[in-house]
Structure 1
Amino acid sequence: MGLASTAVGVVIYLGLVGAGLVAAATISGVLRGIKLI
């Protein structure tokens, strides 16, 4: 039971980290686009 919950926690954590990286890349890309304009 504990192992399963730990695995789920790791998956959720990695998902949040991945989403954060994607959001950061998107925001930085938008800011660069604004600066180019």
Structure 2
Amino acid sequence: MDQLPEVSPGVVETIMALMISAWIFLLLMPTDHNED
């Protein structure tokens, strides 16, 4: 594996969408350890 395989834009958009969804989910979750 000298170089990474080419990734199609659709895959990148899907991965970014999943990461953003997970990030928003964590932000909306009530955190017991981060209460002011």
> What is the total number of aligned residue pairs between the two structures?
29
Q: Which structure has greater helix proportion?
A: 1
Partner of 2:23: 20
RMSD: 2.5
Give % identity: 14
Secondary structure of 1:30's aligned partner: coil
TM-score of the aligned structures, taking structure 1 as reference length: 0.60
Partner of 2:14: 11
Over 3 Å off, 4+ runs:
none
List runs of 5+ in structure 1 lacking aligned partners.
none
List runs of 5+ in structure 2 lacking aligned partners.
1-5
TM-score of the aligned structures, taking structure 2 as reference length: 0.61
Structure 2 distance, partners of 1:10, 1:25, is: 22
